[in-house]
Amino acid sequence: MTESDGKPHPGAAGPDGEPEYADRVYRSVPGVISGVFLLAVAAWLIGDAVVTGTGRTPWVALAALPVFAFPVIAYTLRPVVRANASELVVRNPWRTITAPWASVDALRAGYSVELLAGEKKYQVWAVPVSLRQRKRATRAQQLGPAEHASRMGMVFGRQTNPVVPGSADPTRAWSDQVTNVLQEMAERYARRPEAAGPLVVRWCWWIIAPTLVGLVALITAILV
């Protein structure tokens, strides 16, 4: 799970006098890794079926490729969140939601991170909620940052410093930290002129269309 450094552009300032920051980018690194792994395994299995298979097997394998590959791309590699001073872009598996900050009502993290905008609710796939992380964060909060860091140092045989400025907060889950940052950005930038505008939702047809075509081809290859 990553985030851009969010450092201000040298000499750049917004209309309200605040420094302009580079886009903040969030995505699930475990999701990306699992997606690459699944695609590699699928390429190996389908390639083997095409090369060594007999009868209809190569055609069934080729037809199955888009049915498997595009949904994997959609759910693992595609999801990302980008936020800047004017808008929030949520790229989900099948849709992209572009929400100027003025259209954002709230962001909240329950069992999933949700964007409330335009009187609708959208799940933010790129920021998954981990209940295990929350339990670990709760334990760290009960211990206190210093004691938690001391215990982690004893376990891993090294000293840690949890109070370094800009470091991750061990007393809060990553999804909750991201939600808090985005909510603060929404409150800070909502009144900017460039943050006005309607919510725009676009379907990702370059994933949807090949998946549907591949499904039709797969059914045809199996039945014919």
User: What distance in Å separates the CA atoms of residue 73 and residue 2, rounded to the nearest whole number?
Assistant: 18
Token digits of residue 119: 């009187």
Higher pLDDT, 150 or 183: 183
Task: Kindly state the average pLDDT of the residues 169-179.
Answer: 85
Q: What is the pLDDT of residue 136?
A: 82
Q: 190 and 101 in contact (C-beta within 8 Å)? A: yes
Higher pLDDT, 56 or 136: 56
Residue 147: pLDDT over 70:
no
Q: What is the pLDDT of residue 134?
A: 75
Token digits of residue 193: 């002129």
Tokens 């985030």, residue located: 3
User: What distance in Å separates the CA atoms of residue 50 and residue 35, rounded to the nearest whole number?
Assistant: 22
Terminal CA-CA length for the chain: 45
Q: Is 96 left (phi over 0), alpha (psi -120 to 50) or beta?
A: beta
Higher pLDDT, 81 or 7: 81
Q: Which has the minimum average pLDDT: 28-32, 95-99, 136-140, 183-187?
A: 136-140
C-alpha 206 chain-centroid distance: 19
- Per-residue pLDDT of 189-213, as tens digits, reads 999 999 999 999 999 999 999 999 9
Q: Which has the minimum average pLDDT: 39-43, 50-54, 155-159?
A: 155-159
Q: 23 and 82 in contact (C-beta within 8 Å)? A: yes
Instruction: Give pTM, 2 decimals.
Output: 0.79
The b/e string for 138-151 (b: 16+ C-beta within 10 A; e otherwise) is eebeeeebeebbee
Residue 161: pLDDT over 60:
no
- Per-residue pLDDT of 62-115, as tens digits, reads 999 999 999 999 999 999 999 999 999 999 999 999 999 999 999 999 899 999
Task: Kindly state the average pLDDT of the residues 7-14.
Answer: 50
Q: What is the pLDDT of residue 19?
A: 54
Q: What is the pLDDT of residue 158?
A: 44
Map residue 109 onto helix, strand or coil: strand
Residue 3: pLDDT over 90:
no
